[in-house]
C-alpha cells in the first residue's frame, strides 16, 4: 500500500483539488491512503479567529470567511451538490457551536479544537471529488486512529494504540484522511505541531507497513536550498535518512523533523515530488543512499538570540545549564543553536508558542538575560573550510559556530 500526502498549497483551491486526481492518474490509483492538509492559508485564518475569540473580537466574521472559501470551492467542483455542501456546513456549525459554548480558558485546548476544522473540511472536499471522478475511496477521521496524550498543540503519539488502530484498515482499499490531527484519551482533538501533516503521513505509513510514502510539494524535491531564498540551488536525487534528518533538524522546511524516524525504523522509502510535475522523479530518501557532498543552504527565520549570564559573574556551571533547559522545556521553546563561555550561555531560540516573555520572567531573578528578536539562523552544510568566508561576506553575524563540514551563523 502507498501513502500520499498533499499539503495546503496542493489543495488551495478547486484547480488544486482537480490536480490531485491528475497526480493519482499519473501514479496509479490502487491501494492508496491520502493524507490531506488544510487548504491554502486556512490554518492561518483559523488562528486569527482564535486570537479574536480570546480578545473579544469579531471571530464570527473570520470563521465565516473560512466557511465561504470552502463552500465556494465545493460549489465550483460539485456544481451545487447539496449533500457535500450540507456536510461542510455541519462541520462549520460545530465550530461555531464549540466557540459559543466553550468555558475553557486554555488557549492550546481551544486552538486544537478550532484549527482541526481546516483539515476536516479539505479532506471532505478531496474525498468527495475523487469519488465523483471514479476514484473510489473511504473518508477516515484521523482522530479515530492517531491517539496522543493531552499535550495540546504538540501531542505525543501513543504508538501502540495508534498502530493497533491503523492495522484495522483494509490494505486493498483507498482512503482519504487528515494530516496534523489526532485525539487524546477523552477523544478531544489534539494536533501534532504546526506543519505536522507530514508526520501524520509517516505515522500511517508506519502502521500500514507501506511500500512507500510520497509527499507532494510545490518544489521538484529536496533541494540544496529553498529556491525562493537562494539562487543556483540543485535537486538532490537521493539522500540518506541520516542526511535528511540533519537537514530537517537545521530547519529545511521541505521535510518535517518528526517525519523520518518512523520511516527509517521500517526502512520505508520516502519520496518528495512535485505535484506540478508528477512524472518527474523528485528526491528519494532511503537507507541505501549515500550522503550528499553538495553544499546546502538552510535559512531558519523568526528566531531569537538570548545571551544568559549569572548575576554574580560566576561560571555558567552544569547546574545552571540544567536549570535553564528545564525552563525552556517547560515553555516549549526550542534551542536551534547553543554556545557557551565561562560566564555566559548564548542560545538561538525558536518560540513557536509565544512563551519567551514567561521564560525571561522566570529566569531573570537569578540570571541576566539579553534578548534580541528578528534574527535568522543561516546554516551551510558540506562546505570546505576555504569557502566559509565566501558565505560570511556582507552579513552581520551575531553568533557563529563551525564544525567539520557545517557553518552556522545567527544573522540579522
Mean pLDDT, to the nearest integer, of 69-83?
Answer: 92
Confidence of residue 389 (pLDDT cuts 50, 70, 90): low
**What's the whole-number mean pLDDT along residues 298-318?**
92
pLDDT score of 289: 75
The pLDDT, as a whole number, for residue 361 is 95
Average pLDDT score over residue span 93-120: 97
- 191-208 b/e (C-beta count within 10 Å ≥ 16 → b): bbbebbbbbbbbbbbbbb
Taking 70 as the threshold, does the pLDDT of residue 306 lie above it? yes
Question: What is the reported pLDDT for 285?
Answer: 92
Summarised one tens digit per residue, pLDDT across range 155-165 is 999 999 999 99
Q: What percent of the chain stands above pLDDT 90?
A: 77
* Average pLDDT over all residues of the chain: 92
| Model confidence band, residue 385 (pLDDT cutoffs 50, 70, 90) | low
List the strands of the sheet with 283-286, edge to edge.
Answer: 138-139, 175-178, 32-36, 2-6, 212-217, 270-274, 283-286, 238-240
Note the pLDDT tens digit of each residue in 149-185.
999 999 999 999 999 999 999 999 999 999 999 999 9
The reply, when asked if residue 57 is annotated as ligand binding, is no
φ and ψ of 297, to 5 deg = -125, 125
What gap in Å lies between CA 366 and CA 227, rounded to an integer? 44
Q: Do domains 2-217 and 296-411 have the same CATH topology?
A: no
- Name which of 17-26, 133-142, 342-351, 399-408 the model is least confident about: 399-408
119 carries a ligand binding annotation: yes
pLDDT tens digits along 322-342? 999 999 999 999 999 999 998
Q: What is the mean pLDDT of residues 87-104?
A: 96
pLDDT reading at 63 higher than 90 = yes
pLDDT digits (tens, 9 = 90+) for 106-117: 999 999 999 999
Mean per-residue pLDDT, 300-311: 94
- Residue 125: per-residue pLDDT: 98
If one compares 294 and 335, the residue with the highest pLDDT of the two is 335
Q: What is the pLDDT of residue 251?
A: 81
Fold for domain 2-217? Carbamate kinase (3.40.1160)
5 is in an annotated binding site: yes
Q: 189 labelled as ligand-binding?
A: no
Say if residue 7 carries a ligand binding annotation.
yes
- CATH code that applies to domain 296-411: 3.30.2130.10
Q: How confident is the model at residue 353 (pLDDT cuts 50, 70, 90)?
A: confident
Q: Check pLDDT > 90 for residue 387.
A: no
Report which of residues 196 and 390 the model is more confident about. 196
Domain coordinates of the chain in residue numbers? 2-217, 296-411
* 126: its cell numbers: 478531496
Say whether 390 counts as a known binding-site residue.
Answer: no
Binning pLDDT at 50, 70 and 90, where does residue 351 land?
A: very high
Is 43 one of the annotated binding-site residues? Answer: yes
More confident residue, 312 or 145: 145
Amino acid at each position: 500500500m502507498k501513502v500520499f500526502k498533499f499539503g495546503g498549497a496542493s489543495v488551495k483551491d478547486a484547480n488544486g483539488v482537480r490536480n490531485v486526481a491528475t497526480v493519482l492518474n499519473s501514479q496509479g490509483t490502487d491501494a492508496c491512503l491520502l493524507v490531506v492538509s488544510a487548504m491554502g492559508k486556512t490554518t492561518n485564518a483559523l488562528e486569527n479567529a482564535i486570537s479574536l475569540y480570546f480578545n473579544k473580537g469579531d471571530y464570527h466574521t473570520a470563521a465565516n470567511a473560512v466557511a465561504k472559501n470552502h463552500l465556494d470551492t465545493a460549489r465550483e467542483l460539485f456544481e451545487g451538490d447539496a449533500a457535500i455542501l450540507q456536510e461542510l456546513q455541519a462541520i462549520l456549525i460545530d465550530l461555531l457551536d464549540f466557540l459559543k459554548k466553550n468555558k475553557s480558558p486554555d488557549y492550546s485546548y481551544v486552538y486544537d479544537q478550532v484549527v482541526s476544522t481546516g483539515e476536516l473540511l479539505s479532506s471532505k472536499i478531496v474525498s468527495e471529488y475523487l469519488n465523483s471522478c471514479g476514484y473510489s475511496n473511504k473518508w477516515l477521521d484521523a482522530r479515530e486512529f492517531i491517539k496522543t496524550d493531552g499535550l495540546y498543540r504538540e501531542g505525543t503519539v501513543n504508538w501502540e494504540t495508534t498502530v493497533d488502530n491503523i492495522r484495522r484498515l483494509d490494505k486493498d482499499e483507498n482512503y482519504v484522511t487528515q494530516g496534523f490531527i489526532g485525539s487524546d484519551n477523552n477523544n478531544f482533538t489534539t494536533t501534532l505541531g504546526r506543519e505536522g501533516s507530514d508526520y501524520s503521513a509517516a505515522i500511517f505509513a508506519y502502521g500500514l507497513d507501506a511500500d512507500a510514502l510520497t509527499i507532494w510539494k510545490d518544489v521538484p524535491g529536496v533541494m540544496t536550498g529553498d529556491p525562493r531564498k537562494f539562487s543556483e540551488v540543485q535537486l538532490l536525487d537521493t539522500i540518506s535518512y541520516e542526511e535528511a534528518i540533519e537537514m530537517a533538524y537545521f530547519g529545511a522546511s521541505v521535510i518535517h523533523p518528526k517525519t523520518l524516524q518512523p520511516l527509517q525504523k521500517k526502512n520505508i522509502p520516502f519520496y518528495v515530488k512535485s505535484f506540478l510535475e508528477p512524472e518527474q522523479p523528485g528526491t528519494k530518501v532511503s537507507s541505501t543512499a549515500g550522503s550528499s557532498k553538495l553544499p546546502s543552504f538552510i535559512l531558519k527565520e523568526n528566531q531569537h538570540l538570548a545571551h544568559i549570564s549569572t548575576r554574580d559573574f560566576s561560571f555558567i556551571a552544569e547546574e545552571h545549564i540544567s536549570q535553564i533547559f528545564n525552563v525552556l522545556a517547560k515553555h516549549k521553546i526550542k534551542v536551534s543553536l547553543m554556545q557557551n563561555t565561562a560566564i555566559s550561555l548564548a542560545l538561538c531560540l525558536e518560540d513557536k508558542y509565544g512563551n519567551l516573555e514567561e521564560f525571561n520572567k522566570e529566569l531573570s531573578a537569578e540570571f541576566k538575560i539579553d534578548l534580541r528578536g528578528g534574527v535568522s539562523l543561516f546554516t551551510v552544510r558540506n562546505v570546505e573550510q576555504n569557502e566559509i568566508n565566501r558565505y560570511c561576506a556582507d552579513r552581520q553575524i551575531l553568533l557563529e559556530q563551525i564544525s567539520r563540514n557545517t557553518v552556522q551563523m545567527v544573522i540579522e
